[in-house]
Amino acid sequence: RIFRLKRDEALINRLGFNNNGALKVRDNIIKAKKYTSKNFIIGVNIGKNKETPNETAADDYKKCFELLYDCADYFTLNISSPNTPGLRELQNEKYLDELLKELKNLNDKLSSEKGIPLKDIFVKISPDISNEEAEVIFNTACKYELTGIVATNTTISRNYNMQDINQAGGLSGKPLNKLSNHILSLLSEMKKNAGSNIILIGVGGIFNKTDIEVKRNCGAELMQIYTGMIYEGPALVKKLLN
């Protein structure tokens, strides 16, 4: 369910959200923090279960959020994976408003009860949305005082000059670069017009110094790399930092 498009330096994946559950993730994070001297920041990317209808999706996010609250440094609400049926509908205003409201209220409640600072919350969005949909997401994220927006997830669109495009799933790597930068630029313009402090994280097709510079010019303040590490290896991080 993962396919390398080597000529295009891309991947197609249709993994879905298979995992051992939030409690196991919690154990893994606690162990990692116990056995390392490094002060790593660990973010947790949460989503709904495949069988959960969108009408009650917020319950899944809230349960993960609460179970992992003590050990996660920040949370990303994944509402944009193309491999969980119906998940991208959560980007619609009706569902998104409810989800972000519920998570904000829970964040306030848990922070107060535990006497710890509020957790930073990001929302991860699709590169396949329209300008109007991007505006709805931006305004709703600002309304509920999210820390930031992750732009973007993988795409279901295909460049027909690519190899091996007959596989279903989310496309990442170099072919995603322009799409994700377009969404990033849209959000950056909205941020400027609104005078907002919301943080934009750039994701999609980062392989080299130029990719970093372009993302920064498009408004990214932080970057995430995924497919680049598959092709370049872990040393890519050091190379980009240098």
Active site residues: 81
Beta strands in the chain (DSSP E): 2-5, 10-13, 43-46, 74-78, 120-125, 148-151, 170-173, 199-203, 222-224
Decide: 126 and 180 in contact? Cβ < 8 Å.
no
**Sheet strand arrangement including 170-173:** 2-5, 10-13, 170-173
What is the number of other CB atoms lying within 10 angstroms of the CB of residue 17? Answer: 16
DSSP 8-state symbol, 117: P
- Asked, as a colleague might, if the bond just before 152 is cis with ω within 30 of 0, I would say yes
